[in-house]
Chains A and B, each alone.
Chain A
Amino acid sequence: MDIPAMRASFAKATATGDEAPLYFYSHLFLSHPETRKMFPVSMAHQRDRFFHALGEVVAHVDDLDRVVPMLQALGRDHRKFGIVPAHYPAAGASLLATLRHFDDEWNPALEKDWSDAYGLVAKVMMEAAEAASDQPPWWDAEVVSHERRTIDTAIMWLRPEPGFSYQAGQSISLESDVRPKLWRYYSPANAPRPDGLLEIHVRAYDGGPVSTALVRRVGPGDVLRLGPPMGHIAFDQESDRDLLLVAGGTGLAPLKAVVDQVARYGPARRVDLYVGSRTEERIYDRAALEELGQEHPWLTVTFAVSHDDLSTLEQGDIGEVVARHGPWNSRDVYVAGPPAMVEDTTTRLLKDGLRPERLRSEVFAPSRLGPSLDGEVTQ
């Protein structure tokens, strides 16, 4: 297989920007109209995503240890979209047509290499999907309660079908009939419970189609679909070092799950939870957290506001407040929240001497279609 030549032809396709993926999907939908219904109305994000994933494969094709697990995860995850083995050759044919269209030096050798390479990729994905077929492709989950906490934040409790399992700190993709085919990732705010219920925090992002619908339109009795859980914030259940948790926005969710994990399953550790917010009203889960703090002597909850001079809470950006109460160098530290907050907090902590391997962070940004390799979750 002539990998440099393949990379060159792929580079020609990506150099056209949106053109190549646009061609690919149009070709696919024309040759296999039945595949259209697997995608949302607007394909803008989908196009980026597909070529991005393909680019990863092309870039690391000679490093199978890295590519294969990624493809396997993709293959497993794609079952929730309703993709079956027959769809793989269809996509392969359209991919070849696309590369051919954008490469003026296309030749039979290149055609064969790409065809073989795609065959391999499809095989790995299909085998992983097949191996996961003892699990359903998705789980239905009923909304058992839905509570608007602030103007733009809601907390939902979901009851998934039996057999759905996950770990504290993982995230779960979910889809609603109100916004079909748009899957978004959320982190449950509780550790696995005997009754299987999930607590989900959703902040309606301005103009965000899914988050807005989840906050304002979904209600008790509605049924959502859950994809298989994906792990990335990687909560270290083995460690018994004391914890510092720093949350911004709905980044609180996975950190509340960590508190719940410690409360339910131990080991006993001192936990300091810092919750940052712009204004006092925006702290959407204050009562529950204060209650937790009273219930558990090992837990200290501190709230801080950055844009609310009338508040009696701690003032300042949460990273600054945390640093003020430091040092935290003996702790395991988890930070989750909006990009700027995560950046600021982690920089300060590392500057104060925290060892990088003890710090785990997760960025919660609007409109994520899926976690990347390092993991990104939706607000």
Chain B
Amino acid sequence: MTTDDHGSGAGERRLTPADVQNVRFSRAPMLHPGYNDAEVDRFLVRMAGELARLHAEEAQLRDQVLALQDQVVALQEQVAGATAVEPPSEQAVRILATAQQTADSYVAEAEDFSRQMTADARAQYEEQVRRARENAGATIQAAQEAAARMVAGGGQPAPAGDGGERGTTQDLEEQVAYLKAFAQACRVQLRSYLEALLTDVETEWGRADPATLQQLPLRTPAQRPAVTAAPGTPNVAREVPLDDSTSEQPAVGGNAEVPARRRN
């Protein structure tokens, strides 16, 4: 038997339908009768047809596998990108939204309940504390009065002088109160005056010549406490108008802080 390509490694090259059609069988010797030629030919035709069909089918399957592989890759990408998830249905969204609202309202209700309870408890607590303090105050006062009575009753030194003494004490107390108030008023006025001066100093010096101010050295931390202790002492005595006072700057303790303030 011969085929077109015999000897060229039949194991690697596949048998094609053409191979089957072109095959030629050598004649059998006269003494040995062979196959019926017509039968062999008919079978070969059938075999060629079958092979052709198989090859076509195989090619088709290969295409299909490739297409499916592409699809798998695409799906994997989509899954990784989390974009191709089936969108939830409107109904599902509605149901979940309602469930969420129910949960929210339970939480809100619980919070509200807790708020009311706490507020009530707090109000009661504060009321009790207030009452306790009032009672304590009243008790102490009563005790003091009792003590005063006992002292007065025990001593009985001079019932006559009592009124005069009380008068003097009252006078003294009034004077002390007046002096206290006066001192407080003085302090407040003095402070307003100093604060106003500080404000002026800042505004005016900045306006006078910002460029020279920039060159002044910054306060070192060591200098600061002195400044803080007497922020405007030299200013108090000085009556010079501030507008033209750039030349006097070095004389004043607080001057060097101006550049720092200009920063903002």
Q: Which residues of A contact B (CB under 8 A)?
A: 22-23, 25-27, 29-32, 41-44, 86, 89-90, 93, 97, 101, 151-152, 204, 206-209, 212, 236, 238-242, 266-270, 279, 281, 298, 310, 325-330, 357
Contacts of A32 in B (CB 8 A): 82, 85
Of B20-28, B31-39, B112-120, B171-179, the stretch lying at the interface with chain A is: B112-120
Known contacts A330-B198, A330-B199; is A298 also within 8 Å of B97 by CB? no
Cβ distance A328 to chain B, nearest Cβ, rounded Å: 7
Indicate if the CB atoms of B263 and A238 lie closer than 8 Å.
yes
When the two chains form their complex, are residues A270 and B83 in contact, meaning their CB atoms are under 8 A apart? no
In the assembled complex, the Cα of A209 lies from the Cα of B106 at a distance in Å of 13
Contact between chains at B260 and A26 (CB < 8 Å): no
Kindly list chain B residues whose C-beta atoms are within 8 Å of the C-beta of A97: 87
B binding-site residues for A, Cβ under 8 Å: 81-83, 85-88, 90, 92-94, 96-97, 100-101, 103-104, 107-108, 111-116, 118-119, 122, 125-126, 129-130, 133-134, 137, 188, 192, 195-196, 198-199, 202, 219, 221, 224-225, 228, 231, 257, 260-261, 263-264
Contact A43 B104 (CB under 8 A): yes
B87 near A330: Cβ-Cβ < 8 Å: no
Contact of A93 among B83, B96, B118, B195 (CB under 8 A): B83
Say whether A206 contacts B100, CB under 8 Å: no
Contact indicator A26/B114 (Cβ below 8 Å): no
Check B122–A26 contact: CB distance below 8 A: no
How far, in whole Å, are A240 and B223 apart by their CA atoms in the complex?
13
**Bound Cα distance A267, B118 (Å):** 44
B195 touches A329 (CB 8 A): yes
| Contact B93–A30 (Cβ < 8 Å) | yes
One of A29, A89, A266 near B82 (C-beta < 8 A): A89
Known: A30-B93, A206-B114, A206-B119. A42 touches B107 (CB 8 A): yes
The interface residues of chain A lying within 8 Å CB-to-CB of B92 are 26, 30
| Minimum C-beta distance from A216 to chain B (A) | 10
Give the chain A neighbours of B97 by CB distance below 8 A: 22-23, 26
Please, how many angstroms separate the alpha-carbon atoms of A204 and B261 in the complex? Answer: 40
Whether B81 pairs with A209 at a CB distance below 8 angstroms is no
Task: Say yes or no: B122 contacts A152, CB within 8 Å.
Answer: yes
Given A97-B87, A207-B111, A239-B264, A42 and B82 touching (CB < 8 A)? no
Contact B88–A310 (Cβ < 8 Å): no
Q: How far is the CA of A101 from the CA of B114 in the complex (A)?
A: 38
| Residues in B neighbouring A236, C-beta threshold 8 A | 264
Q: Which of A27, A42, A330 contacts B195 (CB 8 A)?
A: A330
Q: How far is the CA of A268 from the CA of B261 in the complex (A)?
A: 14
Could you tell me the distance in whole angstroms from the C-beta of B237 to the nearest C-beta in chain A? 20
**CB-based contact B96/A30 at 8 Å:** yes
Which of B82, B83, B199, B257 is within 8 Å of A329, CB to CB?
B199
Closest to B119 in A: A206
Inter-subunit contact A310/B228 (CB<8 Å): no
- Distance between Cα atoms of A329 and B200 in the complex (Å): 10
Query: How far is it, in angstroms, between the C-alpha of A326 and the C-alpha of B193 when the chains are bound?
Result: 11
22 contacts between A and B (CB under 8 A): A22-B101, A23-B93, A26-B96, A42-B107, A89-B81, A89-B82, A89-B83, A97-B87, A207-B113, A209-B111, A239-B260, A240-B260, A241-B260, A268-B228, A279-B130, A281-B129, A310-B137, A327-B196, A329-B199, A330-B195, A330-B199, A330-B202
Which chain A residues lie closer than 8 Å to B133 at the CB level? 310
Complex: A212 Cα to B117 Cα, angstroms: 13
With contacts A207-B118, A267-B221, A330-B202 known, is A44 near B108, CB below 8 A?
Answer: yes
Give the residues in chain A near B104, CB-CB below 8 Å. Answer: 42-44
B230 CB to closest chain A CB (Å) equals 12
By the criterion CB–CB under 8 Å, are B103 and A42 in contact? Answer: yes
| A250 to B246 alpha-carbon distance, docked (Å) | 45
User: What is the distance, in angstroms, from A203's C-beta to the closest C-beta of chain B?
Assistant: 12
Q: A268-B224, A329-B199 are in contact. Are A206 and B122 (CB under 8 A)?
A: yes
Interface hub of A23, A26, A268, A326 (most chain B Cβ within 10 A): A26
- Contact at B260–A298, with CB atoms within 8 Å? no
CB-nearest residue of chain A relative to B257?
Answer: A240
The 10 closest A-B pairs by CB, nearest first: A207-B115, A30-B88, A42-B107, A26-B96, A206-B118, A330-B198, A268-B224, A26-B97, A206-B115, A207-B114
A206 to B88, alpha carbons, bound, how many Å?
39
Q: Name the one of B88, B108, B195, B225 contacting A31, with C-beta atoms under 8 angstroms.
A: B88
How many angstroms between the C-alpha atoms of A373 and B87 in the bound complex?
A: 35
Apart from A151-B122, A240-B260, 6 more pairs, CB < 8 Å: A22-B101, A26-B96, A30-B93, A152-B122, A207-B113, A330-B199
Chain A residue at minimal CB-CB distance from B224 = A268
Whether A327 lies near B192 (C-beta < 8 A) is yes
Question: How far is A240 from B114 in the complex, measured between Cα atoms in Å?
Answer: 46
The residue in chain A whose Cβ has the minimal distance to the Cβ of B133 is A310
When distances are taken between beta carbons in the complex, the residues of chain B under 8 Å from A26 are 88, 92-94, 96-97, 100
B195 adjacent to A241 (CB under 8 Å): no
B93 touches A42 (CB 8 A): no
A27 and B134 CA atoms in complex are apart in Å by: 60
Q: B228 touching A328 by the CB < 8 A rule?
A: no
Of all chain A residues, which has the CB nearest B218?
A240
Chain B residues, CB < 8 A from A266: 221
Decide if A268 touches B221 in the complex (CB within 8 Å).
yes
The answer to whether A267 and B224 have CB atoms under 8 Å apart is: yes
B151 CB to closest chain A CB (Å) equals 25
**Which residue of chain A has the shortest Cβ distance to B261 in the bound complex?**
A241
Task: Please measure, in the bound complex, the distance between the C-alpha atom of A97 and the C-alpha atom of B86, giving whole angstroms.
Answer: 12
Query: Which residue of chain A has the shortest Cβ distance to B125 in the bound complex?
Result: A151
Please give the distance in Å from A272's CB to the nearest CB on chain B: 11
In the complex, the answer to whether A268 meets B264 with C-beta atoms within 8 Å is: no
Who on chain A is nearest to B89 by CB? A30
Question: In the complex, which residue of chain A has the Cβ closest to the Cβ of B225?
Answer: A268
Q: Which residues of A contact B202 (CB under 8 A)?
A: 330
